[in-house]
Structures are given as structure tokens and as C-alpha cells.
Amino acid sequence: MNISRRELFHLAAIAGLSLTAEDVFAKLNDMNPEKLFEFKPVGNVTLLHICDLHAHLKPLYWREPSTLISARELVGTPGFLCGNTFMKYYGIKPNTMRAYFDTYIAFEELAKKYGKMGGVAYIKTLVNQIKAERGNDKVLFMDSGDTWQGTAVGLFTKGQAIVEAQNALGIDIMVGHWEYTFGKDRVLELINNHLKAEFISQNVADDMWGELIFKPYTIREVGGVKVAVIGNSFPYTPIANPREFTEGWTFGIQTERLQKFVDEVRSKGADVVVLLSHDGFTVDQAVAKMVKGIDVILSGHTHDPAPKPIIINNTIIVIAGSHGKYLGRLDLEVKNKKITNFAFKLYPVASNFIKPDREVENLVNELYKPYEKQLSEVIGKTQTTLYKRDTFYSTFDRVIMDAIKEEADCEIVFNPGYRWGTTLLPGDNITVDDVYSMTAITYPDVYKFEMTGTQIKNILEDIADNVFNSNPLYQQGGDMSRTLGIDYEIKINGEPGKRLSNIKVNGKDLDPNRTYVVAAWGGNMHRAGKNVKKLRAVYDITMDYIKRVKVVNPPQKSNVKVLDYACGCPVTDGKC
């Protein structure tokens, strides 16, 4: 992409630099998008990759996690890096655009400098540029899923608006996870009647006969190379999301079956074997150790912005962040069925520095049109950053829990530890669209119910064992559920079922025998409760609350104390 003299001035203005200053070019180099978009092509195959768009068609702010805590065995490994640890691991300099995109550090300040991230019209410009450079026949564009769900426009159109955007982007192949929460009939309808991409998955089967629901793989000719792409949808879809959406379908990682398909595509003459996956970055690192013969894994689900690939047993593993912030590009040189060279880059989709594709921009405006008036309504203001990503606590979730607590008149609120949402800066208006970006799910009801202290402890322990399991295969890839009304201490490396201690309910010790009044959304916790009452949808409750209080200012401090680590993203062994 060429940078004009005018754009250079524009850049400098954004960065608050004077072009007459002595070190201006050095400074510009730090943030120069030209350099960020520089790529030396390799070989004759280009794989483009996005994951976890979460229905964000327009640019947004998205702050990466400030803590990302894991079991000791996984500390300091890609998938559990954030902030300074992340920058050190990948050699990123502070205050650069890379630092802004990849970490939470100085986020507010850098947001003013570099602006919003993502947006399909901006992704499209990059894709066009790459295709023009390389030639259409050398490029295959893949999407690891969690694409249709996450915003109002995704929810209101039951995924269709996002499918249209995918078609406009030119996605060739995809897999899924949250897609399934539109229900299996809708999923099949969108795939069969609207989606131009091929939807594949080797790990979704009929639970009676074991017959596969989707094509397990597809073989494409790319730049004269036979590229086989095998799909894995999110293995724990019926566990992490309500089972009724996929009644009669069974998932799982299915490494044995995956191995069978790898061998099968090889015998059909595939030169390169790609796994397009929604397993999660850490799970895919484990899969690469268990399954032989996969050349490339395009991962997703855990939202990691990993600037460099991980190589395990000759398998190249990459992941492309979330929310449309990045476009992943992996160039391959393939000779005699072997990858002889490769190059990888995560292009930051920095909307201030990319000219949006006119056609896709018009499409997005059209898709928003029926809802624009409703969604752009300002309902309040925030004094602090409202963010989502953190292991235990997040400010936007706190606002939602405050709203639920008022509505439900309960002692305790549970809020899911999803990794999608949006970020608002201090002083920002809160719109209806923003609230949906945190809550747009097909099962939005808040439930009020009763639970004993023992049940509450067991549920928290159960969730902690999913999040902090030392074996990646047993992790579901979310963050810890957030709580309001409950404070606790946790030993991440404690025995399963014995990690939590000093649990307080509104300041008093949790009484195992007492019954507590609890409210929760986004999970299936209420199924274990008594006297269950269905309240309103979480987005309605949250919007009414914000309208009422007008200004929100949630505390910045977490209600959970970690006992065995001194910081959020330890380098090794829990010491910073």
C-alpha cells in the first residue's frame, strides 16, 4: 500500500509529531503502517485467516487482557501471555501500534493516537491488495468461526448480515462455534442457502449413528498446490452453550478420527494438510502433538493475537486474534509435498490508516440501516474504561452485574467469562449497540434462583477446573465466571475441587448449609437451582439500568485474590 505525502502528514498529526523534529522518521517508523503492512511473499500459496470476528462489521476498540492466568505448566507459553510478558516474548516496543493492538498497556492513550480496530470494509481492502499482488489463484481465505454472533446486527438478522459480509469478503472455508447457538436448523439454512464459503467439520456427528453432519474436509488447488483443509468446530459446543441448540449432534476433539482424515487426504494426493480449527490455541498445540501429518493449523476460539507462529512436530500453528482486529497471512513454499519455506504476518486492521473498500462499506451501512436509529441511541456515559478481557474481573461485566443485582434483588450475581464484547474509553457515550456487543446471545434470559453455599462453592470449583486445568485438552477456553456479592481467594495450582478459599458473601463467610438468592445469565447454572424464576433479557436489564444511573463508574479492582501468583501474566513459575 502506497503512502502519500499527505497521508504522511496525516499520520504525523495523529501521532502528535512535528515533521520538522529531528527524530521524526525514527518515530514514524515505530508506528508507520507501511512497515506493518510490509510483506515479502514466499512460495506460491497464500493462506489468509480470520477468527472470532464476533459479528463486528464496523471498527471498534478492543483492549487485550490485563491478566491471563494459567496452571503452572502453561505459564509463559503462547496462549497465556499478556501485557509486558507478551511484549517481551514477541519483541514488541512500548507505545507502538503493535503494542496498542496486542496489549492492554497504555490502551486509552494509544487509542486516541491510533484509533479504532477492525471492520470488514478495512479487512477487504487488505485482502484485495494481497490478491492483486499474488493473483487470485494463489490465495485461499479461511475463517475459524465465532463469526455470526456477538453484536445486535448479528442477533437481529439471526446471523444473516454476517454471512453476507463473509460473502463480500470472499471467505472460502469456515468452521463454527457460536454459530450453532442460532440452532441447528438455522445453521443449516444459512449454510445451504446463503453462505458462499464451504462449512466443514470432521468433529460434528449424529449422536445415534455417528454420521458426519458436514463435509469433514475439502481439497483445493492453490497456486498449483493441492491444499487439503480439514475442519474442527469447537469441541465443547454442547457443554459450553445450551445443548438444545445442537440436540442430536455430538462434538469432541476427535483426534483419532482427525488422524484418519489426515491419512485419507494424503492418500488422495494432498500436498499440504491444513486444520482449520476452533479448538483454541492451547488445545491445538496439544493436537499437534497427538496427530501426525498436519502441516498447518489455523486456530481460533481463544482470541490470541500471536504475531509469530508456534511450530510443534513440524506443524505450524497460527491464530489471528479476535473482533476483526487482524488479518493473518501465511505464505507457503511447497516442494515435493513438503513445506520448504514460509512467512507469516498478522496485519493489524488499523482503520485510521486503511482506506475502506467502498462496496463493503456500503454493504455494512445497508445491513445496519434497519437498526441504525435504535442502535445508535446514547443511553449513558462511562467515566472509566469499560473492558471485557481479564481472567477474573472486568469493568463492563461489573456494570451488567450491578444492573442484574438491582433488578433481581439478589445476594449474588454470576456473569459468564466469555472472551468477546467491546471496549469503551473514559468519557465515551454508551449506546444500545455497545450493550448488545456485550450481551447479544440467543439465550439472553436472566434467571433468579436459590442455591446452597455448598452448591455455589462446587460450581465455582468446577468452572475453575475448566479454566485452570493443567491439561489443555480439558480446558474450555473461556475466562473465569465473574461474580458480584462473592469475593474469594484462589490457588490456581491447587488440587481440583480445592482451589478456592476464604469465600465471602457480601462480607460474611460462605455458609455451606445456607440457601442464597442468586441471579445468573449466559450459562446453565440455574438448572441446578431451586425456585427458578425467569427474569428479563440481560440486554434490556442492562440498558434500563444505564439509562437510570446515566453515568457508570465501576471499580477497577478485582474481587478475586490470586494466592500463588504475584501478577497477572507471569513469565515463569508465577514470579514477575
Residues making contact with another protein (CB under 8 A): 177-178, 207, 209-211, 235-236, 238-241, 243, 250-253, 256, 416-418, 459, 462-463, 465-467, 473-474, 476-481, 496, 522-525, 527-528
Strands 315-319 and 296-299: parallel
DSSP 391: S
Residue 240 CB, shortest distance to another protein, in Å, is 4
Nearer to another protein, 110 or 440 (CB): 440
Residue 206 in 3-state DSSP? Answer: strand
Residue 150, phi-psi category: left (phi > 0), alpha (psi -120 to 50), beta (remainder): left
Nearer to another protein, 256 or 359 (CB): 256
Nearer to another protein, 177 or 186 (CB): 177
Alpha helices, DSSP H only, in 329-445?
358-368, 372-375, 395-408, 432-439
Residue whose C-alpha is closest to residue 11's, from 243, 263, 354? 354
- What are 182-190's contacts with CB under 8 Å, separation 24+? 182/148, 182/149, 182/158, 182/245, 182/442, 183/245, 183/442, 184/245, 184/246, 184/247, 184/248, 184/249, 186/158, 186/159, 190/148, 190/158, 190/159, 190/160, 190/163
> What residues contact 276, with CB distance under 8 A and at least 6 apart?
142, 144, 173, 174, 175, 200, 229, 230, 231, 232, 298
- Residue 65 contacts residue 322 (beta carbons within 8 Å): no
408 neighbors 535 (Cβ within 8 angstroms) = yes
CB of 452 vs another protein, minimal distance in Å: 15
Sort strands 310-312 and 315-319 into parallel, antiparallel or unpaired: antiparallel
- C-alpha grid cell for residue 533? 424464576
**Quick one: 160 or 466, whose CB is closer to another protein?**
466
DSSP character at residue 521 = -
CB of 450 to another protein, least distance (A): 17
- Shortest approach of another protein to residue 527 CB, angstroms? 8
DSSP H or E segment with residue 298: strand 296-299
Measured from the CB atom, the residue of 114 and 447 that comes closer to another protein is 447
Q: How far is the CB of 462 from another protein (least distance, A)?
A: 6
- Asked whether the CA dihedral 143, 439, 394, 428 is positive or negative, the reply is positive
d(C-alpha 329, C-alpha 49), whole Å? 6
Q: Please, what is the minimum distance in Å from the beta carbon of residue 186 to another protein?
A: 18
Residue number with CB closer to another protein (43 or 150):
150
**Rounded to the nearest 10 degrees, what angle do helices 120-134 and 160-169 cross at?**
30
Is 223 or 477 the residue whose CB approaches another protein more closely? 477
Cα 397 to Cα 55, 111, 293, 437, 497: the distances in Å are 19, 21, 42, 12, 25
Q: Pick the closer one to another protein by CB: 125 or 203.
A: 203
d(CA 484, CA 57): 32
Tell me how many degrees the CA angle 487-491-496 measures, rounded to the nearest 5.
105
Distances (CA, A) of 429 to 57, 89, 149, 538, 555: 20, 36, 23, 20, 18
Nearer to another protein, 394 or 481 (CB): 481
Q: Phi and psi (nearest 5°) for 142?
A: -125, 155
Residue with smaller CB distance to another protein, 218 or 524: 524
Identity of residue 188: L
CB 478, min distance to another protein, A: 3
We find the least distance from the C-beta atom of residue 239 to another protein, in angstroms, to be 4
* Smaller CB separation from another protein, 239 or 517: 239
Smallest distance from another protein to CB 251, Å: 7
Shortest Å distance, C-beta 245 to another protein: 12
CB of 169 to another protein, least distance (A): 24
| Minimum separation from the CB atom of position 209 to another protein (A) | 5
Q: Measured from the CB atom, is 243 or 355 closer to another protein?
A: 243
- Closer by beta carbon to another protein, 121 or else 204: 204
Alpha helices in 59-106 (DSSP H): 83-90, 97-102
Minimum CB–partner distance for residue 157 and another protein (Å) = 21
